[in-house]
Amino acid sequence: MFPDPDWLRAGLDAAFDDAVRPLRHARGPLGVLFSGGVDSALLAWELRHRPELVLFTMGRESSPDLRAGRWGAERLGLPWEAVAVDRDRVRATEERFSEELAGLSPVSRSVLIAITIAVEGAQSTRLVCGQGVDELFLGYAHYRGLSDAEAEQRSRDDLARLRATDWPVTRRIAARLGKEVLAPYLAPPFEAAATRIPISLRLPNDLPKRFFREWAVSRGLPEELALRPKKAVQYGSGVDALWKSLRPARR
């Protein structure tokens, strides 16, 4: 028998409120790394009344993320800035942070390059990002078609990698750039509340991250933002394609 969905959402509410409360009341500029997807849109929605808040979207010219970022910021009525990326910037970023990126899988390396460019290009020194949602709420394509047990194990493995490797690397790179990156969804109480939700309710089925999206709507996020389909940052921004275009040149 499943726990009451209202009880599960209440647990998420309490944990998330605790995670974002310090951000609502802190002073000084704050940026949201805003791809236009539901993860960052909910953060922007929750912080929308905070002074000196700016949304930053990274992408190559005419990329899906830049279009989604501009569109989402307009609907939220929040200041927005684009962070431009091209082949030279991808090359320079990979070379500059080669030590931090060494040993990462190709997927993690592509993601970290994308995040690094976004962090460096954002004008705020304190930034908020949506890391953790895809691992907790099964947003990646590789969860599709898995059994409950397989999906739960894959989620645990992905979250363990994020916590042990990808997230610490992100924070180290940000520190090298003189910045701080925060991930409210990785707050331990939020992770605990999310993992109490039965895996069958978190499976992608017909809509990736359905439980998370519906919960975001219950918090007031407009459905047009909560239900909008979105590619992973490295693909939607165009960074992965730019990075792969450099690979033959490196051999």
Reported as a pLDDT band with limits 50, 70 and 90, residue 96 is very high
- Side-chain-side CA neighbours of 248 within 13 Å: the count stands at 3
Q: Is the pLDDT of residue 235 over 70?
A: yes
> Is 249 part of a structural domain of the chain?
no
Q: How confident is the model at residue 146 (pLDDT cuts 50, 70, 90)?
A: very high
**3-class secondary structure, 57:** strand
d(CA 202, CA 207): 10
User: Does 239 map to a domain?
Assistant: yes
Q: How confident is the model at residue 135 (pLDDT cuts 50, 70, 90)?
A: very high
> At residue 247, does pLDDT exceed 90?
no
- 108 domain-assigned: yes
Q: What is the pLDDT of residue 46?
A: 97
Number of domains in the chain: 1
Q: Quote the pLDDT of residue 251.
A: 42
- Region 155-173 average pLDDT: 96
> Can you tell me the mean pLDDT for 87-103?
95
- At 250 the pLDDT is 46
% the chain with pLDDT above 70: 98
Average pLDDT over residues 74-87: 96
Does 248 map to a domain? no
CATH number of the domain within which 131 lies = 3.40.50.620
In the beta sheet, which residues pair with residue 57? Answer: 82
pLDDT-based confidence at 60, cuts 50/70/90?
Answer: very high
Look over the chain and give the mean of its residue pLDDT values, rounded to a whole number: 93
Q: What pLDDT, on the 0 to 100 scale, is given for residue 1?
A: 60
Q: Is residue 30 part of a domain?
A: yes
Q: Which pLDDT value is given to residue 228?
A: 86
Q: What is the pLDDT of residue 30?
A: 97
Q: b/e string for 26-45 if b means 16 or more Cβ within 10 A? A: eeeebbbbbbbbbbbbbbbb
Which domain range does residue 186 map to? Answer: 5-243
Residue 215 counted as domain residue: yes
pLDDT of residue 2: 64
What tens digit of pLDDT does each residue of 34-48 get? 999 999 999 999 999
More confident residue, 204 or 179: 179
Per the domain annotation, does 111 fall within a domain? yes
- Burial (CB < 10 A; 0-12, 13-18, 19+), residue 207, is exposed
Cα angle, residue 52 at apex, residues 66 and 86 outer, rounded to 5°: 25
Q: Is residue 184 part of a domain?
A: yes
| Average pLDDT of the segment spanning 141-161 | 94
Average pLDDT (158-166) is 95
